[in-house]
Structures are given as structure tokens and as C-alpha cells.
Structure 1
Amino acid sequence: MKTDLTARFAAFLSPDEILAEAPELLTDQRKRFVSAPDVILKPKSVESVQAVMRYCTQHHIPVIPQGGNTGLCGAAVAEGGVLLNLSRLNRIRAVSTADNSITVEAGAVLQQVQEAAAAADRLFPLSLASEGSCQIGGNIACNAGGLNVLRYGTMRDLVLGLEVVLPDGSLISHLQPLHKNTTGYDLRHLFIGSEGTLGVITAATLKLFARPKTRATAWVGLPDIEAAVGLLSLVQGHFAERLESFELVSRFALDLSAAFSRLQKPVDAEWHVLLELSDALPHDGLPDMLAEFLYRHGFENSVLTQSEQERSDLWTLREHISASQRSLGTSIKHDIAVPVSRVAAFVGACAPALQAAFPGIEIVCFGHLGDGSLHYNTFLPHVLSNDAYAYEDKINTIVYEHILAQGGTIAAEHGIGIIKNHWLPRVRSPEEIALMKAVKAQLDPHGIMNPGKLLPA
């Protein structure tokens, strides 16, 4: 089958668009899933993507779009068919400071887009731990969030327009940098968060913002999550849109990261918050305003940065939590969200339930408290290898039942993929799922787009 497909695609693709081997594209970053496609394609143009999709639709060949391969839910895993890697579609097509927009191709790496915006004295605010390797198409396909959702929103809020190749090879392109457009259904939102199940995103026009000229950064130690939520409410009420990030870190998560990063822990506490204010105007008094505010409200167990190096060290402690967990072995990760007011209730109830079922289980809890999104990662100390996944269903059941009890969601920013699609009926109604399947059937009648992902069987 592989040889046959390669020969057939060679009839209309250039030789370098068909890969004989690409082991780096076959294994996901957690080394959990390994793809086994019949052929790997790396198209160099939108026209090539269209030709591939036309052929695959005609012959009912599955197509699995792939970006930077940094996903955590198996959404880019191929079992047969075409693994369609978009990394060669990586141009910055246009930057418009008048429109505060940037138009980029799907294979552009997030950091590349951030740098192109900065070169134009603008900010593209999406910020992720994987920004040096993840790609814009994947960010859009899973509606990525990251550190700055509190102020700027998720990827859904940052996309002005999309260019998408549909399964039949036709092209929908609305890349004009329009901030208002009320001409019927806004079709771009179908593809944002669709995980490659409806079409292939090839380009996007994204929002840009003024670059911050002033920042004020603080690390605050707190006795519990309730105090962190109280602080969030106070900061939002006082500093309004200046609040850019509000990150929650447990004691255990900080201990791991500090040891890994070889940095001193800023303060001693059970829970920690890293918060950052920013202003597009020079404002020398902003750090002092934050310091006075924290002192006045009794948050004295705090450290405020006095230099860019100090700020960098605090963010290193936050950003190295994921890497520092590797010493604990394989984790069962949970990318979850609940209403901010219920985060404490979830954490307070879920941890004892997990410990009762799995004595000695270790929990690394951290994330974006400002929008209620947490990374809730569990480790079984006696299982360091991928054998831990044998316990995944039982652990997930405990975590997700507690999440649902608090009105939350099982996927905040990583997507559904293949590891959570059987849970989708618990968070979306039968009517919603039926509507999703109807949209899928209309756009992809042969079911070739990323089969087995997102939607339940």
C-alpha cells in the first residue's frame, strides 16, 4: 500500500513533497503514540494541499493533518492513510500595523510569529511552553490558550480570518483583516478547535496588539486557593485590563521546578500566584502601585521583581514545571477548567478521592487560575514508565467526575483527540453532538479527515 500510494502521489507532487522516512514526525512529544501512515507528505504550496485533498476524497484515503507535533491528546496520530505535515507552509505573508494584523501560513512556528510582530513594534500575545516548536495551524485547530488568555483570550479570539482547504480540495479564503464582518455565518469558528476533522487550515490572519512598555510582576505566597481567588478578584477590580497573567502554583509544583531550575523559591507557602500587570504606556509607578496594593490588602508574603533578570527567574519557575515533572516518571495529564469560583472546591475534593483509590499518588497542580484552567497531573510513584497508562481510565474517571460536578470541562486548551473523545457525551448534549456530526458529514461525507479524533464513535 505504501509503495502504491507513493507512486500515485508522485504523479502530481514534486519528489521532495513525499517523504520516504521521517521518524521525528511519527512519535508524539510524550512518546506515547506512534503514527503508522501509508505515506508522509510535506506540501510546499496551498495548491499541493488542494491536489492531495482532491485525490484523497476521490479515493477515500484518510488524511491526518499535522503541525509541530506538540499535541498531548493524540490528535495528530495516523493509523494508515496520509500524514499531511504542514511545516513547509511557513511564510509570514503580511503585517499591517494599520489593521493591527499579521497574516501567516499554518506551518509558521508560534515564536516566529511573535518575532515578526515584535519587529513591527506589535505584540502577538499567544504564549505557550512549546512556542519554539508548535505551529499556528495546530494552535488554531486546538484553540490554544496559554498564559495570556485572561487579557487577550484564546486563539478563537485572536483569529480574524482563515484560509482552509476543504476535503474535496476547494479553497475557502477570508484573510482580509476585518475586525467587523456580519455577512452571514462566521465559518472560521467551525475550524477553530476542530482538530483537523473538517478541513486543512493553510493560513490565518491574526490580531496584533500594542507592545507593553511597562510591566509589574509579583510572586505571592498564599495559604489556600480561596485566598488566591480572593486576590484575583481584588486585582481585577483595581487594575482592570492591566492584569495580563495570573498563574497558580502548588507547593509541590514549585519544589519540583525550583530544584530543576536551580533557582531559589521566592517565598514559602502552600500555594503561590505569579501575577503580571502590563501597560502599553511608560508608567514608572506601576510596580510601586502593585506593591502598595498587595501590602494594603494583607498579601505581605510577596516578592516583586526589581529587574528583568528577576522577572525572568520567576517566569522560569513557572514555565519549567512541566519539564521538572519528568523526574517523577510518566504522568496522567489533565487539561481541565472549572469556573474560577469552584477551583478550590474541585481541588479540595478530587485529591482525597485520588489518594483513597491510589495510595501514594502524587499530584502536580498548576495553571491559569485567571481563567479557571488548570494542569492537574497525577503520578503513581511505583510506575515510572508508560505502564502508568494502564491506570488512566480509572484516574480520569475520578478527575473528570469531580470536574463535571463543579460545572467544568475535560479539555480547556489541549483538545480532545483520541484519548478523551469517549468522554465528549458527558460535556456536550446529544443535540450538540448530533449537530457536530451533521456538520462533519456535510463537509467530509466520506469521513477522511482525521478519522477517530474529537467526535465519539
Structure 2
Amino acid sequence: MNPIEIKQQLKRFLNSSEILEDSTALLVDQRKRYTGYADIIVQPESVEHVRQLMAFCFANRISVTPQGGNTGLCGGAVPNGGVLLNLSKLNRIREINVADNAITVDSGVVLQNVQEAASKAGRFFPLSLASEGSCQIGGNIACNAGGLNVLRYGAMRDLVLGLEVVLPNGELISHLNPLHKNTTGYDLRHLFIGSEGTLGVITGATLKLFAQPTIKETAWVGVQSIEQAVTLLSLVQGAFSGRLSSFELISQFALTLSADFSQSREPIEAPWHVLMELTDSVAREDLGTLLAEFLMDNGFENAVLAHSESERSELWRLRENISAAQRNLGVSIKHDIAVPIARVAEFVENCGKALQTAFKDIQIVVFGHLGDGSLHYNTFLLDISDNRVYEYENAVNEVVYANVFQCEGTIAAEHGIGQIKKHWLPKVRSETELNLMRAIKKQLDPYNIMNPGKLLPEPDKWL
């Protein structure tokens, strides 16, 4: 069926406002790494229209690429023909249930809007990402997003109480009741969380809410090594238990880049830096004093505590601006990796040495969520500032991932697999696991119409 015929058929059940005529921006990923194509781009305005669309595409073997805010970094929402299903018009806050600490939303709701709706209801939704002003809940669920508060609240998988999903054949599975316990067989929602749009279309979700933090105590701590940062993490967790919300690791080079970009001074001098934050829903004036005394008593005197919201914001701005600041070095080969926390120092030291031996003038920018063992490990070949750097990507990745595997880590901590990493999946998943994934995919999507070419490392022989 050609694009004109597809469009004519879709007009039978979609409104004209749901079929986009000029939307080429949706065909390019955020990094402008991948440019796709589609026979038609649609933005359904109701779940029923998503169901009708999927039933039509299933019957006619037309591929469908679900897309949220298109903020992904792995090419997972870029289409390769067929229908690009952008979910931006499914953007309702359906219900806020304070008794159950839950919010039910359409999948196209922007993350920041969920945060704000929760706040207006006197509650807190903890997922926090750099792209929260544009990324959407469906995409956050599809890649099991992490962010700054995983240490205390968990990743997206831990925040989902229920899902509404349209299957490839148009059937609807909907379990949006805010049940905190339900042991009636397999918990199917976890199939779709992290599935990157390869098993169905997420159209709605019920998410966990929490008490709003009424107090935040933020400290920037200089340490001599990553080992010392890990020691600090263990001590803080022992002393402050569930109050520790964020624990970020920042290299000196990353800090210098961000400070220059932000036109701010560096808080302190040290080889490595930790940005940590304690929060509590119960206001207590002594938490900052307790944190300061704790740092002094344990030998972490090289520290700055925020004494106002503006000072806190300035410290967080230095962390959040690292991604933008590093662009001055040119195009990077990015790595979204995680290793056991106890082995982060080993990975950084050994991988850095191996890269410097293999590549002349390589520059490494290291920062990330030490509290859960995940790092943004970005590499720059300083004599190549444009996309030609990707010619060396496989060679760089060979070195980086070899060190990740040596430390029993993963190549994808929170950004997913998409197109860019699928050939690496057999290195972190056994053949038995991959065969199970293929079997699940084939059962739900026998014609391989759901986001084909993503996640799984090779196409299967579909019926």
C-alpha cells in the first residue's frame, strides 16, 4: 500500500487535524544523528483512534514507530518507513488520587506538566531529567528513564502503578487502578516498561506520588578520588538513610567546562566532586547543621553547603550545564553505562588508560549518578569536531565496553538501546534471554510492525 492509499484509508477514522502534512522535524532525532522517513505521520487525539490505527496497520502489515517527545539519544523513535505515531496530542491529566498517592495521565503528557500537576495537589513526582520540559511520560516509560532521584525513589519502572497499552493488533490492555498490591498472575506492565515501543503503544499510565519535600539541604564536596566519593556515599547512606535523594559525581574537567559555560566560579578545588542532596517532607531546621557536622566529623572539610535557594540552584546549574558545556569540544561519542558502585573507580581508571593508549588526543568527560552506579562517559577526539568522529565510534566503543564488561556492568543504564546499541545487546544478554525476548516479541507482534529495527540485535524470521 503506497502513502497516498494509506492516507486515504486513515481518513476514514482519523480527523484531518490528526494527519500531519509538514512535520519533517519529527523525522530527525535530538542529536541529529539519525534522519528517518515515514509514509505518513499521525498524532491521534484519542486512545480509540490509536486502537483503530493499530488495527489497520496490523491488518495491512504496515510498520509503526511510536514517538513521544523525540528527546531520545539512541535513535529509538526515528522511523524507517510506515507510520510515525506521535503521541503529543494524548496529553490529558486524567485524575489525581491523593488517597492512593497516584496520578493517571495520558502518555503524551510532558514530564514537567506531571511534576506541576502533582505539586498543585500537594504531592511530588520525583522523576527529574534534563529534558523534563519536553520529554513525555510514554517515552520515559518506554526507555525506563532514570535521572537524578533514582537513589531514593527508583527509576521509572519503580514509579509505575498501572499501564494502558494498545497492542499491535489494536486490542487494549488497561489496568490503571492505583493498586499497590496485585498478585493475580504475571505482571504484564513490566513487559512494556523498557520495551522501547517494540511490543505495543503506551497510551496511559498511573504513577506513584510522594509527599512534597519541605526541606532540601545541598552540599558540594571535593574528594581526592572516586574511592573516597564511594566511601562518602556509604557513610551518608548509613547516617541519613532515606533522606539522601541525589549523589552526583563530577570530574574536575567536567566542572571546569560547566563553570566556564555558566560564567560561574567553581565552588571548590579538588580532583573529583560530589553534589549531594538530602530532602525531608518534615521541616526540621537542624538537618543542614547535622549534614555539616557529619562532613566535618568524617574528614570531608572541603565542602560548600547551600544556605539559600539561589545558592542551591547555582550548584545544581553547574551539574545540569555539563551536557551543554561539553558541546564546545565538538561532537562526542556518548556512553550511558553503569557498573556496580564499588567498581566505578576501577572502571574509570582502567578505561581512561586504555583509551589514552589507543587514541591520540582523546578527551574524556565523566559525570553522572554515582548513587546508582551510572555514568555519562563521553569521549571527544579533539582533532575531529564534527560528525566524522562517528567513523571511530566502533573502535572507541570496543575499548569502553570491554572495560564495562570487565566490571560486570551494562552498556545502557537509562537511555535505552534504540538503533545505536542493538548489535551490542548479545554482550550483555545471554542467548537464552535474547530468545525469550524474541519469543515475546513474536507472540505480541507476529508481523514485526512495532518499531522494527530497534532494540533486538537482528531481525527475526516473522510469520
**TM range, smaller chain:** over 0.9
Residue of structure 2 in register with 1:223 after alignment:
224
Superposed, 1:313-392 pairs within 5 Å as 313-392=314-393
Alpha-carbon distance between aligned partners in 2 of 1:386 and 1:58, rounded to the nearest angstrom: 40
3-state SS of the aligned residue for 2:276? strand
- State the distance in 1 between where 2:53 and 2:358 align: 49
2:134 is paired with a residue whose SS is coil
Counterpart of 2:293 in 1: which secondary structure?
A: helix
Give 1:207-222 correspondences, 5 Å limit.
207-222=208-223
The secondary structure found in structure 2 opposite 1:259 is helix
The letter of the residue matching 1:237 is G
Indicate the residue corresponding to 1:152 in structure 2. 153
Deviation at 1:12, TM superposition (A): 1.7
Which deviations, in whole Å up to 9, do the C-alpha atoms of 1:157-186 show, x marking residues without a partner?
Answer: 000000000000000000000000000000
In 2: Cα distance, 1:444 partner to 1:28 partner: 25
In 2, distance between residues paired with 1:262 and 1:209? 35
Note the C-alpha offset of 1:343.
0.1
1:44 CA drift (Å): 0.4
2-side partners of 1:159 and 1:454: how far apart? 22
Q: Following superposition of structure 1 onto structure 2, how do residues 414-429 of structure 1 map, counting pairs within 5 Å?
A: 414-429=415-430
In the alignment, the residues of structure 2 paired with residue 213 and residue 408 of structure 1 have an alpha-carbon distance, to the nearest angstrom, of 36
User: In structure 1, what is the equivalent of residue 273 of structure 2?
Assistant: 272
Aligned to 2:65: 64
Provide the C-alpha distance between the structure 1 equivalents of 2:78 and 2:456, rounded to a whole number of angstroms: 15
Gaps of 5+ in 2: 459-463
Instruction: Give the aligned partner of residue 400 of structure 1.
Output: 401
Q: Give the 3-state SS of the residue equivalent to 2:65 in structure 1.
A: strand
For residues 31 and 450 of structure 1, the distance between their equivalents in structure 2, rounded to whole angstroms, comes to 19
**Amino acid in structure 1 at the alignment position of 2:96:** V
1:24 maps to 25
Q: What letter corresponds to residue 354 of structure 1 in structure 2?
A: L
Q: CA deviation at 1:23?
A: 2.2
The residue that corresponds to 2:126 in the other structure is 125
Q: One-letter code of the match for 1:43? A: P
User: 1:273 is matched by which residue type in structure 2?
Assistant: V
Instruction: Tell me the C-alpha RMSD between the 2 structures.
Output: 0.6
Corresponding letter in the other structure for 2:74: C
State the Cα distance separating 1:24 from its structure 2 match. 2.1
Superimposed CA distance per residue, residues 188-211 of structure 1 (whole angstroms, 9 cap, x where no aligned partner): 000000000000000000000000
Residue-pair matches, total = 457
Structure-1 separation of matches of 2:14 and 2:280: 49
Q: Provide the rounded CA distance (Å) in 2 between the counterparts of 1:84 and 1:239.
A: 45
1:164 maps to 2:165: yes
**How do 1:196-215 and structure 2 match up within 5 A?**
196-215=197-216
Greater displacement, 107-116 / 379-388: 379-388
For 1:86, the equivalent position in structure 2 comes to 87
**1:45-81 CA distance string (max 9 Å, x none):** 0011001100000010000000000000010111110
Which residue of the partner structure matches residue 461 of structure 2?
Answer: none
Superposition deviation, residue 386 in structure 1: 1.0
SS of the counterpart of 1:162?
strand
Moved runs in structure 1, 4+ residues, more than 4 A? none
Show the 5 A alignment for 1:109-120.
109-120=110-121
TM normalised by structure 1 equals 0.99
After superposition, residues 250-329 of structure 1 pair within 5 angstroms as 250-329=251-330
Name structure 1 gaps, 5 residues minimum.
none
Q: Deviations over 1:320-375 (max 9, x none)?
A: 10011111111100000000000000000001111111111111100000000000
1:295 Cα deviation from its structure 2 partner: 0.4
User: Aligned partners of 1:83 and 1:382: how far apart in 2?
Assistant: 37
1:4 is displaced (CA, Å) by 2.5
Per-residue deviation, 1:387: 1.1
Hey, what's the Cα distance between the residues in 2 that align with 1:279 and 1:12?
50
Q: Secondary structure at the match of 1:53?
A: helix
One-letter code aligned to 2:284: H
Q: TM-score, normalised by structure 2?
A: 0.98
Identity of aligned residues (%): 66
2:399, 2:8 → 1: CA distance?
49
CA distance in 2, matches of 1:303, 1:96: 39
Cα distance in 2 for partners of 1:216, 1:11 equals: 57
